[in-house]
Amino acid sequence: MKKQPYPAKKPMLSQQIEDKSQHLESRVATLETEILQMRQMLSAFAQKKTPWWLKVSGSFENDSSFDEATRLGQEWRKSAE
């Protein structure tokens, strides 16, 4: 008869099965709690923020310097044609 590389496992008693089940249930509950916490942290980052271009849109309204820069840019584009 060939020697087995690992000793044969003995069947678990019902108390051992119960202990292992409780341990696994505890670990799963801990993981579920941690996942919930991570989801809450991620949702804070994933909240829809106002795009940057909407924040600056209209910020140069009634600004004579911007109007002048726009006019000069248009002149330069026309002269480059």
The domain ranges of the chain are 16-46
Band of residue 47 on the pLDDT scale cut at 50, 70, 90: confident
Q: Could you tell me if 12 and 20 are in contact, meaning their C-beta atoms sit under 8 angstroms apart?
A: yes
The whole-number average pLDDT for the span 32-61 is: 88
Whether the model pTM is above 0.85: no
Dihedrals phi, psi of 52, to nearest 5 degrees: -60, -35
Q: Could you tell me if 71 and 64 are in contact, meaning their C-beta atoms sit under 8 angstroms apart?
A: no
Could you report the per-residue pLDDT of 3-12, keeping only the tens digit for each?
667 766 777 7
Q: Could you tell me if 66 and 60 are in contact, meaning their C-beta atoms sit under 8 angstroms apart?
A: yes
Cα 66 from Cα 19, distance rounded (Å): 74
Dihedrals phi, psi of 27, to nearest 5 degrees: -65, -40
